[in-house]
Amino acid sequence: MATLVSFHAHPDDEAIATGGTLAKAAAAGHRVVLVSATRGEHGEVDVGVLGDGEELWQRRVRELEQAAAILGVQRLAFLGYVDSGMMGTPENDAAGSFWSADVEEAARRLAAILADERADVLTVYDHHGNYGHPDHIQVHRVGVRAGELAGTAKVYEATIDRDHLRELMARAEEFGVDDAPDVEGVDETMGMPGDDITTRVDVRPYLDAKRRAMAAHASQISETSFFLAMPAEAFELTWGTEWFILRGAPPGTREDDLFRGLA
């Protein structure tokens, strides 16, 4: 069996981007390690969600622990940086923010975990962080460098099939989804073209775990949110495949598993 380290920016990212893949890997007997760069200190939260004196990061850590247990994660770690907020906000440059972190230093922190775990596979994000969030872009930069430092055999960029997303949004009314984002909003900062994707993981057998992990992040993803309120058919079409790009893969590579070729 192999060891997978999945690197993410904030609590809830792991469930949205890779939840099915993590659950599938754990079910197959692989060791699954989850690393979050931050504790999601600057996420949005509705009034009344937090208890008296409760900080958002405290809630999000507990939510992440619950989601990790649902997905079969065997180790949860934090790099120790602070959520950088959305692009262009003052939090980007605040002391300790992940966006302002030295890439080499942050990569060494992650590489130490990779080395300790003898990781065979690492997941990061694509070069623009799937949708342009500063912490997601930094996950790409730091994660790629950490994989180099640790000599990790396979490094995958978790991404979104942009073409598939556009098709789904165009068919939203057909699936009974009334509040889908406008298809025109799926521009070059959202995911990657389908032809660039090397790896499509079928996670339909693990959709229940993925959905429950998403729902565990209740401070960020409510049951009435677009993510969770869509009908079952639309949910399966949206979340039933998770997409990755294997770094350094030969042209034309097409696979359906992150562990292909490992001894």
Domain-located, residue 155:
yes
Tens of pLDDT, residues 85-131: 999 999 999 999 999 999 999 999 999 999 999 999 999 999 999 98
Please give the Cα distance from 8 to 193 (Å, whole number): 22
Nearest to residue 15, comparing CAs of 57, 64, 55?
64
Give this prediction's pTM.
0.94
Tens of pLDDT, residues 51-97: 999 999 999 999 999 999 999 999 999 999 999 999 999 999 999 99
Sign of torsion over alpha carbons 77, 155, 99, 95: positive
Domain-located, residue 112:
yes
Tens of pLDDT, residues 137-167: 999 999 999 999 999 999 999 999 998 888 8
Domain-located, residue 47:
yes
Domain-located, residue 258:
no
Give the CATH number for residue 227: 3.40.50.10320
| Whether residue 231 has pLDDT greater than 90 | no
Tens of pLDDT, residues 205-224: 999 999 999 999 999 999 88
Domain that holds residue 192: 3-246
Domain-located, residue 88:
yes
Domain-located, residue 253:
no
Domain-located, residue 132:
yes
Domain-located, residue 256:
no
If you search the block for the tokens 């990781």, which residue do you land on? 119
Counted domains in the chain = 1
